[in-house]
Amino acid sequence: MDDMSPSPHIMYDRLLGGLLIEGFDEKSCRSRYQFARYHKSPNIPSPYLIEKLRKQEALQKKCGPGTKAYREASKQLRSGQSINMTDCNYLLLTIHAGMGNRMLEITSVFLYALLTNRILLVDRYKEIGDLFCEPFPGTSWLVPSDFPLNYGEFTQSSPESYGNMLQNKVFGDNTERSLAGTRPRYVFLYLDGNCGFHDKLFYCEDDQQFLQGVPWLIIRTDMYFVPSLFLIPAFQDELSRLFPEKDTVFHHLARYLFHPTNNVWYSVTKYYRSYLAKAEKRVGIQIRIYETKGILQRNGPFPHILNQILSCAQNQKLLPEIAMTEGAAAETQNKGAAAETQNNRTIAVLTTSLSSWYSDQIQKKYDEHPAVDGTTVEVHQPSHEEYQRSRNKKHNMKALAEIYLLSMTDELITSGFSTFGYAAQGLAGLKPWIMFRSENHMVPDPPCGRAMSIEPCFHQAPFYDCKAKRDTDLGKVLPYVRHCEDVSWGLKIV
């Protein structure tokens, strides 16, 4: 064991309960086998999931880029003739959103690939290769640059869009669609948050049956659509075998799929060792602000959000109370000094935010008014990028590093609605305290609430009952698919 380990005396399971296999070159991707040093997990992946992952790896290797099967499949795609299904059928994900969304969408699409025995390929143009190592042994998940279709130009209303085809009754009515003998060579599935009624028929069993016969699926989404897969009867048996603990889908699949590249990982581990490792407790606070202020539409700083963070952290005893009045401050300072001799505990707070104002203010409060129990509170924030720039590689690398750092904390406070926080809580296996959205610049009451599970929320889940052909409340159909704490119309697995 080298000096990278934060807890040299604790044994760790570098293969994450069998999710990972030995055999990858360790030097070219340190994070793969070092992740476990920084992360514990009470959740064990099922033997069935492990078996399925090994089968998927074999399929990715047999059919992936560079193989005869891939050459044949892409040649047929280029030829314009209809193609028969073979053992090698593909799912290509186009990528466009922020880092949290990307991790959620890749995980959803990977689960869909597992359920439908397809090879997962991802867009090579959105620097995925600079952010994550290859997840599958002996092959690449990046779609080759000579891929025959210009998928970047597909839109919701393109002729190849499935929703558009349904709307225009290209396959006739519903019954004709499920019986249709010939299938297109490929379809484009537009499943972004703003997709329409016909696009969302993807989540219906009949449509799944139809899509089973389409050799190439090109998918665009920025959503964690896993909860809706649990609502498709044909997938339910397989999903319960894969995930006997249903609320661990993202946790296991993200730990399996995502291994930050060395550049990102070095910055994560260096920061962890410098600022977080020595503290008795680490509290992560993820601050994502969607409100804007005044005519300039600036998003902050907002004193009510600072108050919300502090109330949440102190009410839930994640951070100690501070004395706020002058007299009390002096009194506490004395008490603090006395307590400090018995209590040399340090809490390291890791904040992440586009702005540095909140962490500066939190630190200032604990510097000016010592904690009542004498605990030292140190606040650290790796970056403050000011605004989102998801097309910038360095910016995305910082975002990814911070998601991983948040996932290395012992307790988490996250901002509701934010996929950045969902990704961190899922990797960590921690149920966060979610700060609810404030209205009219007021601190909500309560300021935060405990998440029901570690799963992300599907923000724009459909509410259509495919069998009954009418809208219904899909948050009430299964005990383990419920409405989210932070997005009342969304769905999550609990």
Total residues interacting with ligand GDP, rule: CB under 6 A = 21
Which listed range, 177-185, 261-269, 274-282, 348-356, lies at the site for ligand GDP (CB under 6 A)? 348-356
Q: Does 390 bind ligand GDP (CB under 6 A)?
A: yes
Shortest distance, position 284 Cβ to ligand GDP, whole Å: 11
Binding ligand GDP by CB under 6 A: which of 117, 124, 383, 465? Answer: 383
Shortest distance, position 78 Cβ to ligand GDP, whole Å: 34
The strand pairing partners of 492, in sequence order, are 482
Nearest to ligand GDP of 126, 288 (CB atom)? 288
Nearest to ligand GDP of 49, 399 (CB atom)? 399
Q: Does 485 bind ligand GDP (CB under 6 A)?
A: no
Q: Does 435 bind ligand GDP (CB under 6 A)?
A: no
Q: Does 101 bind ligand GDP (CB under 6 A)?
A: yes
Nearest residue to ligand GDP, by Cβ distance, number only? 98
Distance CA 132, CA 223 (A): 19
Q: Does 459 bind ligand GDP (CB under 6 A)?
A: no
Shortest distance, position 459 Cβ to ligand GDP, whole Å: 9
Q: How many CA atoms, within 13 angstroms, populate the side-chain half-sphere of residue 232?
A: 24
Binding ligand GDP by CB under 6 A: which of 15, 232, 354, 478? Answer: 354
Q: Which residues of 223-236 are buried (b: 16+ CB within 10 A; e: fewer)?
A: bbbbbbbbbbeebe
Q: Does 398 bind ligand GDP (CB under 6 A)?
A: yes
Nearest to ligand GDP of 238, 385 (CB atom)? 385
Binding ligand GDP by CB under 6 A: which of 45, 65, 98, 426? Answer: 98
Residue ranges in 38-97 that form contacts with ligand GDP under rule CB under 6 A? 97
Binding ligand GDP by CB under 6 A: which of 100, 163, 184, 429? Answer: 100
Binding ligand GDP by CB under 6 A: which of 420, 433, 436, 458? Answer: 420
Q: Note whether 109 and 94 are within 8 A (CB).
A: no
Nearest to ligand GDP of 169, 389 (CB atom)? 389
Nearest to ligand GDP of 299, 307 (CB atom)? 299
Nearest to ligand GDP of 171, 417 (CB atom)? 417
Shortest distance, position 42 Cβ to ligand GDP, whole Å: 26
Tokens of 173: 């009515």
Shortest distance, position 404 Cβ to ligand GDP, whole Å: 11
String of contacts with ligand GDP for each residue 257-296, x by CB under 6 A: -------------------------------x--------
Q: Does 166 bind ligand GDP (CB under 6 A)?
A: no
Shortest distance, position 329 Cβ to ligand GDP, whole Å: 31
Residues that bind ligand GDP (CB under 6 A): 97-101, 288, 352-354, 383, 385, 388, 390, 395-396, 398-399, 402, 418-420
